[in-house]
């Protein structure tokens, strides 16, 4: 049985959360409503992958994303809710796939996280936001083809973030700054 999380794990997860928050603030103003996650996923995926590679255990995504959900809840409680659901979906699936030691599991973790975040965010946004039919969330959520396409694109954007993150992991390994199984 592995030992519980150590202080350095919490600190590392906090830095990955900070990186994701910075990425949100960088891409947020430039992304059209309803498409923010597609723009954020490649940058957020880098930090998510680095965190999964360093922490390696089940629950790693929750350790990074739940504080992010609390921080982004200051902007909108809807964001907190869909991120919490997204973490639950990702960690439940990863519970059966294993931990984050292997690249393929980190890839699946990214794809699951960003695809479910996109789907959940759009559906929850359309359902909870009281607005007109002209609201971008309502427009997207009422068109199943567009909803599926955006969810697939979010998964692909997560793959891009995973690839960039794995490239960073490889460079950190070469520099002797990250001890990760490959």
Query: Can you tell me the mean pLDDT for 14-22?
Result: 92
- Local structure of residue 2 (DSSP, 8 states): P
pLDDT tens column, 109-123: 999 999 998 888 888
Question: 63: pLDDT confidence band, cut at 50, 70 and 90?
Answer: very high
* Range from 86-90, 128-132, 148-152 carrying the lowest mean pLDDT: 128-132
Question: Which of 71, 91, 64 lies closest to 9, judged by CA?
Answer: 64
Q: What is the pTM of this model?
A: 0.87
Cα-Cα-Cα-Cα dihedral of 155, 159, 160, 162, to 10°?
130
pLDDT of residue 131: 58
Neighbours of 20 (CB within 10 A): 24
Average pLDDT, whole number, for the chain?
86
Contact 76, 56 (CB under 8 A): no
């Amino acid at each position: 049985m592995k030992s519980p999380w150590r202080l350095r794990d919490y600190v590392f997860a906090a830095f990955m959360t900070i990186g994701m928050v910075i990425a949100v603030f960088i891409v947020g103003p430039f992304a059209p409503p309803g498409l923010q996650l597609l723009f954020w996923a490649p940058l957020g995926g880098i930090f998510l992958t680095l965190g999964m590679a360093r922490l390696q255990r089940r629950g790693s995504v929750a350790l990074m994303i739940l504080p992010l959900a609390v921080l982004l809840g200051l902007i909108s409680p809807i964001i907190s809710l869909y991120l919490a659901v997204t973490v639950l979906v990702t960690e439940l699936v990863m519970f059966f796939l294993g931990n984050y030691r292997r690249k393929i599991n980190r890839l699946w973790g990214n794809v699951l996280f960003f695809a479910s975040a996109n789907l959940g965010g759009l559906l929850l946004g359309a359902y909870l936001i009281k607005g007109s039919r002209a609201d971008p969330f309502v427009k997207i959520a009422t068109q199943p083809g567009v909803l599926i396409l955006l969810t697939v694109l979010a998964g692909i954007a997560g793959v891009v973030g995973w690839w960039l993150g794995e490239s960073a992991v490889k460079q950190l390994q070469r520099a002797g700054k990250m001890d990760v199984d490959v």
